[in-house]
Chains A and B, each alone.
Chain A
Amino acid sequence: MYKKLKLIIKREYLIRVKKKSFIVITLIGPFLFSLIFFIPIIVNTLDENELKIIAVVDSSKIFYKLLPDNEKYKFIYLNKSLKEAEKEMINKGYYAVIFIPSTVLTTPVITISSTRQPSYNTRLYLISAFKSRIEALKLVKNNVDPEIVNSIKTDVKLNIIKLNKDGKRQTKTSELQIVVGVIAAVLIYFFIFMYSSMVMKGVMEEKVNRIVEIIASSVKPFQWMMGKIIGVALVGLTQFISWATLTVLIIIFGGSLIVENLNSSKLNYNELNNTINSSYSKVDYKPELNDNLTKITDLFVSIDLINFPLMIGSFLFYFIFGYFMYASIFAAIAGVVDNEADTQQFMLPVTIPLILTMVLFSNLITNPEGPIAFWLSMIPLTSPVAMMVRIAFGVPVWQYITSVLLLILSFVVSVWISGKIYRAGLLLYGKKVTYKDLLKWIRL
């Protein structure tokens, strides 16, 4: 019994893992994943490596030689009209021309003209440079000491503490929990679909190759279906582990490059501060970049708010059992249909719950303990995805256990029913199967 199951698992596993397409996707995948992380950074670095010469036409006369130069931006001040300056920009290849109207203090609107689209970083840099200069001037004008302004600046953070009914503290909520929950849920959705479809394709292939009868006269349908499902599950795990390991390696390797990059940009930021401080010794320059940085640090500080062993354990559990349930249903569907086009008729009712969960995603996030979230995380067809979102926020133990038990139960039932349908349906070449037939086979 187990010998045959092992044989089938081995074949199903090896035949897929040895495929060139599998090897290529497994190796290329991590590069694509890490590209998602790196592309913005790479784009930024490319962008920022170039020294940008920016011409300044200052009608207000209050910025002369006071805009902060560094290794990326160099300002030159022209005593010309905007039109002439623009001409000169085109001739001499400046990056842009900034026009400062004389009314800048009352209506702070600055015009930048360029032959190119000014990069996001450049815009940020200019805005913060002008903002701090104008604010400082206004403070001085009103006889306010900039030191005082700095000291009263306050960042308010909302610290959420969740209590159990008996008053015990539970994990706190943060943006990171949302991010982790959503990523886990999307991954589960993606993996369940991908590998269940792989099982379905495998069954279709056996039908097309007409090998069904030979196998059917050698093994029990249950062994056959389970062998296929477990074989593909191992393919999935192999792919998942290689992807995770390689992606982490690439990000760590690439990360060291980013850290260097971050350090150099911090250096620039200090330089920037120094230049500005030297011209406005009393004004502390605080670019918005700084705020973003603190936000990111906050995010990473809250990593310890998430119960990662529970998260990873649940991910594996919901992935494996959710996959087993869906794969057995998909195998049964492939067992009864003749070609891939016909699979749609039966796949629709099965996939609607999963798609529905994705549609109701925002509700899950905003109200992880509401009735929709509750029911979606109990119904086995939706619970793998829905529960992953909720676990990040913390789920009452009884709900968690109920959801797990329901999923295990429906896994057993679906494998049992699918085994029967699979057996009855396999040999019906060229015959359309109706839902009525399915019911009849289940009752057999």
Chain B
Amino acid sequence: MNVLEIKNITKKFEKKIALDCVSCNIKEGKIFGLLGPNGAGKTTLIRIINQILLPDQGEVLYKGRKISLDDLINFGYLPEERGLYKKMKVGEQLLYLSQLKGLSRKEAIKQAKYYFEKFEITTWWDKKVEELSKGMQQKVQFIGTILHNPEVIILDEPFTGLDPINISIFKKEILELKAKNKTIIISTHIMPSVEELCDEIVLINNSKKVLEGEVYEIKNRFKENIYEVEYSKYADTITISHNINYKIINTYKTNNNTSIYFIKIINNDYTSADLLKDLLNSGEIIRFNEILPTMEEIFVKVVKENEVCIRN
């Protein structure tokens, strides 16, 4: 089921077009990745979903009907511009923010205590925000985003400025939220985390949507039929070479004296099974797998192609 439907959103600032007729659907209980280079329009889209900005054209549907300000209590939002009231104490601040999202004070205290223990920050309750480091503030803000148990969680660049330990804490929590059937939108530059977390993505470049779909499906779409094969060190005579079906694009010996070949199939009728059969003749194979492109490679490729299009 689509929790959010973004329909033909266009937004202009002065002379610059931030979003040009962007549409996408966000499914319930999935993690949705919003990707794109700097200035592509991701944050604008997120602000429109949060109704901080109004679109010039198009609309956002929440559960099938036009979104309204009253729906905001079902949303948790971690903005890219991190900020908290500096002079306010951490505990009071989280209670205030979650009460603004519709929680009762009692419920807010209960939830806050739960997360303070979970994130092992119980000693921070009475500290002023300005006494915390940036990373610590981000942790507090992340808790503030999810404290009121929202159905949709929107995280704009959630991992920037965090150390690896905290990144893994955040990731674990995001996956736990997904397990609770929450819908999560992540805007990020960190591609490995996209592969780890996201079910679906949309890639925006130059205010236009240039790619969308399930992560696995996209990777398959962009695969180049390259296979990696590893022969054991006891295979002394390996006799493979280019032919009409495939070509060897790289090869090297590992420290363990095994040999690795990267082979690209060039004949569309030639399957991976055919290739494996042929390769088996050459020696003892200890590993054979298809190389799928990383999201990073796809990202760079698509954005570059897109720019060529624009220039032409």
A216 at interface (Cβ–Cβ under 8 A)? Answer: yes
| A15 within 8 Å of B (CB atoms) | yes
Chain B residues touching A, majority SS: loop
**Stretch in contact with the other chain, from B22-30, B97-105, B164-172, B257-265:** B97-105
Q: Does B87 contact A (CB under 8 A)?
A: yes
Residues of A within 8 A of B99 (CB): 7
Q: How large is the interface on B (under 10, 10 to 19, 20 to 34, 35 or more residues)?
A: 20 to 34
Kindly state whether residue A211 has any CB partner on chain B within 8 Å: yes
A219 interface residue per 8 A CB criterion: yes
Chain A proximity of B105: nearest CB distance (Å): 9
**In the complex, A211 Cα to B83 Cα: how many Å?**
5
Whether A80 is near chain B, meaning CB under 8 Å from some CB there, is no
The closest CB in chain A to the CB of B97 belongs to A214
Q: Does B77 contact A (CB under 8 A)?
A: yes
Interface residues in B76-129 (C-beta closer than 8 Å to A): 77, 79, 81-88, 96-97, 99-101
B47 touches A213 (CB 8 A): yes
Interface status of A11 (Cβ within 8 A of chain B): yes
User: What residues on B are CB-neighbors of A219 within 8 Å?
Assistant: 100
A345 at the interface (CB under 8 A from B): no
Whether the Cβ atoms of A217 and B77 lie closer than 8 Å is: yes
Cβ A427 vs Cβ B53 within 8 A: yes
| Known contacts A214-B144, A217-B50; A209 and B96 CB within 8 A of each other | no
Q: Is B299 an interface residue (CB 8 A)?
A: no
Chain B contacts for A220, CB-based, 8 A = 69
Mask for B49-82, Cβ within 8 A of A = 1, else 0?
0111110000000000000010010010101011
| A210 on interface, CB distance cutoff 8 Å | yes
Complex partner residue of B100 from A7, A206, A209, A210, CB under 8 angstroms: A7
| Chain B: minimal CB distance from A369 (Å) | 49
Residues of B within 8 A of A444 (CB): 54
Taking CB atoms, residues of chain A closer than 8 Å to B83 are 209-214
Which residues of A are found within 8 Å of B79, using beta-carbon distances? 210, 213-214, 217
Nearest A residue to B73 via CB reads A218
- Contact (Cβ within 8 A) B82 A210: yes
The answer to whether B100 touches A213 (Cβ under 8 A) is no
Q: Kindly report which residue of chain A lies nearest to residue B49, judged by CB atoms.
A: A217
The answer for the CA separation of A214 and B137 in the assembled complex, in Å, is 14
- The minimal Cβ–Cβ distance linking A324 to chain B, given in whole angstroms, is 23
Residues of B contacting A210 in the complex (Cβ-Cβ under 8 angstroms): 79, 81-83
A217–B81 touching, CB < 8 Å: no
- Which A-chain residue is minimally distant from B104 (CB atoms)? A3
Cβ of A211 and Cβ of B85 under 8 Å apart?
yes
CA distance A7 to B99 in the complex (A): 8
Asked if A4 is an interface residue, CB under 8 A from chain B, the answer is yes
Contact present for A213 and B85 (CB under 8 Å)? no
Question: By the criterion CB–CB under 8 Å, are A15 and B52 in contact?
Answer: no
Residues of B within 8 A of A427 (CB): 47, 52-53
Closest 3 CB pairs of A and B: A210-B83, A213-B79, A211-B83
B positions within 8 Å CB-CB of A:
47, 50-54, 69, 72, 75, 77, 79, 81-88, 96-97, 99-101, 141, 144
